[in-house]
Amino acid sequence: MDQERAAAIAIEFKNNQKVLNAIGDETRQAILMALIQGTQNPGMRVGEIRVKTHLSRPAVSHHLKILKEAQIISVRKEGTLNYYRLDSASNLKLLKNLVNEIEKALAPCEEQASDQRTRLTGRGDRE
């Protein structure tokens, strides 16, 4: 891999650091799954998320704060009520850039492996 590609991947990892940290936790993954399965309009309240995830109210609030700071979810306030939902402009979209850069770096390796299979079997990917 050339230095330019490695630098691009390093930049994408840095850009995704908060998102990767936020989604790397199993509890936050459970909360995200609850939000994905829940109503997006108006969103879900902490109590609803608590019931779906079997977490305490303080634990849900703590993890929602981390997801909000990573700009993965948004909160909409209606008087004293807070509704949480996936953010349509979410930083999760940044993950696509990271995956794309990694795929570009792997493409020559995949081509080389395919060529090697072709030489060894005489058939390549047709198996």
Counting Cβ atoms within 10 Å, is residue 87 exposed (0-12), middle (13-18) or buried (19+)?
A: middle
CATH T-level topology, domain 3-121: Arc Repressor Mutant, subunit A (1.10.10)
Residue 105, token pair as written in the block: 């770096």
Angle at 32 between CA 67 and CA 106, to 5 degrees: 85
Q: What is the mean pLDDT of residues 86-111?
A: 85
Model pLDDT for residues 41-80, shown as the tens digit of each residue: 899 999 999 999 999 999 999 999 999 999 999 999 999 9
Alpha helices in 1-127 (DSSP H): 3-15, 17-23, 26-37, 46-53, 57-69, 94-121
The pTM is what?
0.77
Which span out of 11-15, 38-42, 56-60, 85-89 was modeled with the highest average pLDDT? Answer: 56-60
- The full set of domain ranges for the chain reads 3-121
Question: What average pLDDT does the structure give for the chain?
Answer: 88
Residue 30, token pair as written in the block: 């459970």
Question: pLDDT category, 2, cuts 50, 70, 90?
Answer: confident
